[in-house]
Structure 1
Amino acid sequence: MAIATHFDNRGIAIAAVIIFSWLGLLAFLLTSYAVDFSSPLTWVFVLLQTHLYTGLFITAHDAMHGVVAPGRPKLNKVIGAVAAFLFAYNWYPRLLPKHHQHHRHVATEQDPDYHHGSFWPWYLSFLRNYITWWQILLMAITYNVLQLLFPLENVILFWMVPAILATFQLFYFGTYLPHKGEHEPDNLHRSSTQDKNHLWAFISCYFFGYHYEHHDKPYLPWWQLYKAKG
């Protein structure tokens, strides 16, 4: 007698929305949008594409916790690998052990995300940990191909700049703010959290400002993390 198995497909659907929104908007902005630097719409598109870039990494991050496609590890890994690769050619098998090391040794010398210092040295340390020379090479090759096919200002504004801004966004809201400074001895996760504001928490970094909550309940996907906020 076959036993029915129920899979939760919501994470897959949400990951697909983020990935295809990023691809679709990028295709439109490269092929059909005439850049006007005086138009607020141009900068809205830059910010929107930045947010979707951040969503790619957050999707890859959730895959590292097995919550994009729970119960289907192969599909979960594929989605995570695709999302990571689309974000500046990040390599999922390299990110996975680093992220779990961060959770095991949060805000200690063994934490690859942590740096005992001020903002800019920490940011540079963060970049060194997560950007490799082969990524830079692939980005350079892609840039040179794209600028042959599409207007240069579109390539820079909507493909290059959002990737850089998203890296800054992920670092600032998801690493620096939650882990900077000293934490109380009874703070098990050595993490702080932002004040409750679900709209700002989503806009700023897909609820990862609720960072203590993430470390406390890493089994919650980003789109359910707000539920852990007291």
Structure 2
Amino acid sequence: MANHTSISSDSLGSKGIIVAVTIIISWATLLVFLLNWELSWDNPLVYVAILLQMHLYTGLFITAHDAMHGVVAANKKVNHTLGWISAILFSYNFYWKLFPKHHEHHRYVATDKDPDYHPSGNFFIWYLSFIRQYVNIWQILLMAITFNILKLFLPTENLIIFWMVPAVLSTLQLFYFGTYLPHRGESDNKHHSHSQDKNHLWAFISCYFFGYHFEHHDSPGTPWWRLWKVKENNH
């Protein structure tokens, strides 16, 4: 396995900011369009749009995640602001609540102190445990209030299908590819993490390269869009 070093936010210049802002703007632009789109279940593009919006929701969370590692921007205020915005847009996740839990995951990976881990290995039990860790009553209340305000101006069906459903699907995407597959079963390497086989296109589509999970734990200072290079260096 080749040696490598984490890439600091200082060495990335403005690239991390550009990537983060692009994801945020793409999510918002597509959502505005879809909320005003005439919905027809006979149109196959509806299903494509749901999956695309799901993927952009996942991008929001991954952006917040990278901010927690300080690799979105060299300026700490800009870094955390973009992380906070990305998290709050994803169903009112609270960045500063996620922050310590994620670092606990890295510190205590696959142990009883890891908030992302469940020893049962059962997909459904583990997923429910994962959701309980990261969803709270305030998020549900804020989502309910926002939904009831928005439905005064926008079609209710569009709100459910393009705003709410993709967010739920994204939690499954994040959990399955970013937590369950990497950490299920026994793994005797130093990061207790499995990593998917090298396939950069699938790695991006499935979860923004977070299937390369050993690489992330081995190089947490590398932004998601550079993880493929870490994977290359490990082969």
User: Which interval holds the TM-score relative to the shorter structure?
Assistant: over 0.9
User: What is the rounded CA distance, in whole Å, between the counterparts of 2:193 and 2:138 in structure 1?
Assistant: 32
Unmatched 5+ residue regions in structure 1? none
Question: 1:123 aligned to 2:120?
Answer: no
Aligned residues: CA RMSD: 1.1
- Other-structure match for 2:156: 152
Aligned positions of 1:47-196 closer than 5 A: 47-70=51-74, 72-117=75-120, 118-184=122-188, 187-196=189-198
Residue of structure 1 aligned with 2:31, choices 26, 30, 33: 26
Separation in 1, partners of 2:195, 2:149? 42
Higher RCO, 1 or 2 (CA under 8 Å, sep at least 6)?
Answer: 2
Provide the residue aligned with 1:208 in structure 2. 210
Rounded to whole Å, the distance in 2 between the matches of 1:166 and 1:141 is 21
Task: Give the letter aligned to residue 218 of structure 2.
Answer: D
Displacement of 1:153 after TM fit?
Answer: 1.3
Rounded Cα–Cα distance in structure 2 between residues aligned with 1:149 and 1:46? 21
CA distance in 1, matches of 2:88, 2:171: 14
Query: Aligned letter for 1:27?
Result: V
Using structure 2 for the length normalisation, give the TM-score: 0.93
- The answer for the alignment partner of 2:41 in structure 1 is 37
Q: What SS class does the counterpart of residue 82 from structure 1 fall into?
A: helix
Aligned partner of 1:13: which letter? I
1:7 is displaced (CA, Å) by: 6.6
**Stretches of 4+ moved more than 4 A in 1?**
none
The letter for the 2-side match of 1:191 is S
CA distance in 2, matches of 1:131, 1:57: 13
Unaligned runs of 5+ in 2: 1-9
Task: Give TM-score scaled by structure 1 length.
Answer: 0.95
Aligned partners of 1:140 and 1:154: how far apart in 2? 15
